[in-house]
Amino acid sequence: MITLYDLKTLHTGTRRGISPHTWKVRFALRFKGIPYTLRCIEMGDIEATAKSIGALPTSKKADGSPQYTIPFIQDSKTGKVISDSFDIIEYLDITYPETISMIPKGTRLLQGYFGQAAYKIIATQIMPVSASLIPTPYHTQGMAEWFRITRPDFVKVSPEQEKEGWEKFRSELGEVARLMKETDVFAMGDRVSFADCVLFGQLMVLKFFWNEETTEWKEMMNWHGGRWGRLIAAYYNLPDVEVQPEDPSS
């Protein structure tokens, strides 16, 4: 069984995920049909938890020390522990070859580059808007404190800035939509891939802040001919493969 490590929040159900990178992995696992359990930890416990199971750092901090991030997985089938969403999904492709490949042969560079570009170009447009809402009532006390100490630059935005952020986000998603056929559900047409994991993750993290009943979410699902609503639906139309842990507090 695969254990996927994510951040703990006070949300339940489809809105509990606050990391776009963990949502990428959840998307891949569902399309692959691989069962997993989700273990949610506090922001301040990421490094200690990662070290305790042998998860590698994914980058370096400004002072040169190792930076540990979620998601990371622990696979009881192989004993392997893998960090970083791209590396995790590539590991799943290799280790479970009977499932659909998210990084088709010959596309590794393209998939990886798209993932980096999408985060830098698309996500950064809406990030100041969502970040200005932190902490929400659904952040744990530990996460709220972590943001207060480490992200003092997260400030409230004006209505004008919020509107501008949404317009820029819509515009950048529109550039992606423009390069796809009108009937395409996935970035590669009728074939799902890592690029879809990335787009799905960027959309789903916004559900943490704006639920299905909000004007923002409803409008976003109808942008560009309803393309993003179809991507979300493609995920939920598949059987859920998350297995609830025996200890519900984990």
- Residue ranges covered by each domain of the chain: 2-95, 108-236
Q: Which fold has domain 108-236?
A: Glutathione S-transferase Yfyf (Class Pi); Chain A, domain 2 (1.20.1050)
35-68: b or e for each residue (b if 16 or more CB lie within 10 Å)? ebbbbbbbbeebbebbeeeebebbeeeeeeeeeb
> Is the pLDDT score of 147 beyond 70?
no
Which pTM does this prediction carry? 0.91
Same fold across 2-95 and 108-236:
no
Contacts of 163 (CB under 8 A, 6+ apart): none
Pair 23, 11: CB distance under 8 Å: no
pLDDT of residue 95: 98
**Interacting residues of 27 by C-beta distance below 8 A, sequence separation 6+:** 196, 197, 200, 201, 235
Q: 2-95 is classed in which CATH architecture?
A: 3-Layer(aba) Sandwich (3.40)
pLDDT above 60 for 176: yes
Q: What is the pLDDT of residue 125?
A: 87
Amino acid present at 182: E
* Phi then psi dihedrals of residue 44, to 5 deg: -70, -10
